[in-house]
């Protein structure tokens, strides 16, 4: 099965970014519902194989970060793409509002506690990037973090971007591969999905009145995301802008990047030394006996 091209979704390091230049919907890569299922099944199967290899080799850790506006499909993408992943070697963390304890620490502290260890796949549903997105749109939240004595200006945000880049550079050098997905949803598609939550009793629980308030800050969020992606997409920790108006298409694009990321690590199963091979040979001999 030919790989889906995703290179054009990757944000180049440096420079400026205008999300209006990035589509929220592209030509589907699957053609039909049946084809979508076949491709996703293939990706899920391959991802499962690669995760097992990641777990066995214990050389790298992989961290996938998902960011998006409300109703962009993060939860669905994670559940579908990672459906074949072994929970034993996977850690998923959803980041909500910081607790009182977390607010007493620097903004990267709570994320660092949940980083995957070598051999593990980590998934952050939202992340430390909230601290340059939500707080950028609502700077009054910074008061709860103890940011009172200094001016919150472009220099302040540039310093936070720098801290994030250095944090991710450190992780890369220590063996953790970080890949970040921004699910790019149109405002109109979000409106339709929020209405669907209101109209379907089985989806009512998903609706949060805060979503409407945040929707009113759409342009501010787009500027915050654009600045963030441009400042923090690097060679070793790239951002991918995923057109998210078509959920199925978005899942296939994400799963292709996930497969490519793990396959690119060029992992292999641990090689056995002579002593270990002798031990396994003896064990096999013993188990081969009838009544063993």
Tell me what pLDDT residue 285 has: 83
Q: CB-based contacts of 71: which residues, under 8 Å, 6+ apart?
A: 185, 190, 193, 194, 197, 211
Tell me what pLDDT residue 207 has: 84
Beta strands, E only, the chain: 61-68, 90-94, 121-125, 176-184, 239-243
Tell me what pLDDT residue 292 has: 63
Among the listed residues 103, 156, 167, 96, the one whose alpha carbon sits nearest the alpha carbon of residue 132: 156
In the structure encoding, which two tokens stand for residue 279, read together?
């031990």
Helices (H), 29-96: 33-57, 74-81
Tell me what pLDDT residue 149 has: 60
Tell me what pLDDT residue 119 has: 97
Tell me what pLDDT residue 59 has: 95
The conformational region for residue 12 under phi > 0 = left, psi -120 to 50 = alpha, else beta, is beta
- Reading the chain (292 residues) residue by residue, the pLDDT tens digits are 679 999 999 999 988 899 999 999 999 999 999 999 999 999 999 999 999 999 999 999 999 999 999 999 999 999 999 999 999 899 999 999 999 999 999 999 999 999 999 999 999 999 999 999 999 999 999 988 877 667 899 999 999 999 999 999 999 999 999 999 999 999 999 999 999 999 988 888 888 888 889 999 999 999 999 999 999 999 999 999 999 999 999 999 999 999 999 999 989 998 878 888 889 888 888 888 877 6
CA gap 102, 109 in Å, rounded: 7
CA gap 239, 235 in Å, rounded: 9
């Amino acid at each position: 099965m030919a790989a889906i091209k995703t290179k054009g979704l990757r944000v180049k390091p440096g420079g400026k970014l205008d999300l209006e230049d990035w589509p929220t919907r592209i030509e589907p890569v699957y053609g039909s519902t049946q084809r979508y299922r076949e491709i996703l099944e293939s990706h899920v199967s391959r991802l499962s194989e690669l995760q097992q290899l990641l777990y066995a080799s214990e050389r790298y850790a992989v961290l996938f970060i998902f960011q998006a506006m409300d109703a962009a499909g993060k939860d669905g993408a994670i559940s579908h793409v990672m459906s074949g992943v072994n929970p034993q070697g996977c850690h998923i963390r959803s980041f909500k509002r910081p607790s009182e304890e977390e607010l007493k620490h620097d903004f990267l502290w709570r994320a660092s506690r949940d980083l995957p260890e070598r051999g593990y796949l980590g998934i952050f549903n939202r992340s430390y990037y909230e601290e340059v997105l939500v707080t950028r749109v609502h700077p009054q939240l910074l008061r709860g973090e103890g940011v009172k004595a200094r001016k919150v200006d472009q220099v302040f945000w540039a310093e936070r971007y720098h801290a994030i880049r250095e944090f991710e550079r450190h992780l890369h050098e220590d063996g953790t591969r970080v890949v970040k997905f921004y699910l790019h949803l149109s405002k109109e598609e979000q409106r339709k999905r929020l209405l669907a939550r209101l109209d379907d009793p089985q989806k009512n629980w998903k609706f949060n009145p805060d979503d409407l308030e945040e929707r009113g800050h759409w342009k501010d969020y787009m500027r915050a995301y654009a600045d963030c992606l441009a400042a923090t997409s690097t060679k070793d920790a790239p951002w991918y802008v995923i057109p998210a108006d078509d959920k199925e298409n978005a899942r296939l694009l994400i799963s292709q990047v996930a497969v490519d990321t793990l396959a690119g690590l060029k992992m292999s199963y641990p090689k056995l030394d002579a002593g270990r091979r002798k031990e396994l040979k003896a064990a096999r001999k013993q188990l081969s006996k009838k009544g063993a």
